[in-house]
Structure 1
C-alpha cells in the first residue's frame, strides 16, 4: 500500500512514518511537509502510482488541508475508491468533523497523536474498501 503523509511538523512526519512501519505497513511511504508539494505529486502521478492512503494534516501554512482537498476536486472521480484520505488534526472543533462531509474523498478524521489502534483501524477500513472493488 502506498501511503502519503502530509504534515508541516517534521517531528510528526518522522514519528508517523515510524509508527506506520512498526505497525506493518510494508508499502512505500512518501512524506511531504508542504501541501503544495504533495498536491503536485498527486496531480502528476500515473493512475497506478497514486497513493491508496493519504494522512493529511489540516493546519498548515500557505496551503492548509482544506485547500489541498479543494484543489483535488478536479481529480475526485479518478481518486474516489482508489485513494482514502484521513484527516489528522489536533483540533476538537465540531466544525471540522462536519466539514469533512463536503469532501467525498475523506474517509475519516483522526485526532492527533496517531497511535497503533488508529492505524490498525485505518488499515482494516482501507483493506475492506479495496476488497469490495
Structure 2
C-alpha cells in the first residue's frame, strides 16, 4: 500500500471522490489535496522549507493531476514541479487524472518520464486496481 497520494484538482467533488475511492480500495493510507497547480506547488514548497529537527514525513508517492484548472493548470504545475522538486523526491510519480479528450494531451503526457499513467475521470476502484499493476508501483502492493 502506498503511504500518501496527492490529488490536485479544481473540482471539490472529484477530490472527495478520490479520497473515498483511494482509501476504500486500499491504494493509499493518506490523501492530501490541492485545488490547483499553484496550491500544489505551495504544498511542496512548505514541505521542503520545514526546518524542524525531527524526521520529515514521507512525501507523496503518487500525484493524481488534473490538467484543466484555473489559477495554474496541470501542465504548468508539472513543469514547475520538475524544475524545483522532482530530483529531490525521484520516487514520486504522476498520474494524469483528467476528463480531456484532446489527443494532444495524451501525446504530451507521454513525453514525461515521471508520468506513469493517464486515467479518465472519474477515478474508480477498477482504475486503481489497474494502476497497482504498473511496473513503477508494483513494489507497493
Give the C-alpha shift of residue 34 in structure 1: 2.3
Moved over 4 A (4+): none
Instruction: Quote the residue 1:116 is aligned against.
Output: 125
Show CA shifts across 1:53-79 (max 9, x none).
Answer: 110110000100000001012223223
Alignment TM-score, normalising by the size of structure 1: 0.87
Q: Which residue of 2 aligns with 1:2?
A: 4
Alignment coverage as a number of residue pairs: 130
Cα-Cα RMSD: 2.0
Pick aligned residue for 1:61 from 54, 70, 84? 70
Corresponding residue number in structure 2 for 1:128 = 138
Mark the runs of 5 or more structure 2 residues left unpaired by the alignment: 49-55
Aligned counterpart, 1:78: 88
- Contact 2:5/2:28 (<8 A) preserved: no
Structure 2 distance, partners of 1:59, 1:48, is 29
Seen in structure 2, the aligned counterparts of structure 1 residues 102 and 26 have a Cα distance that, compared at 3 Å, is closer
User: What stretches of structure 1 of length at least 5 have no aligned partner?
Assistant: none
TM-score w.r.t. the length of structure 2 is 0.82
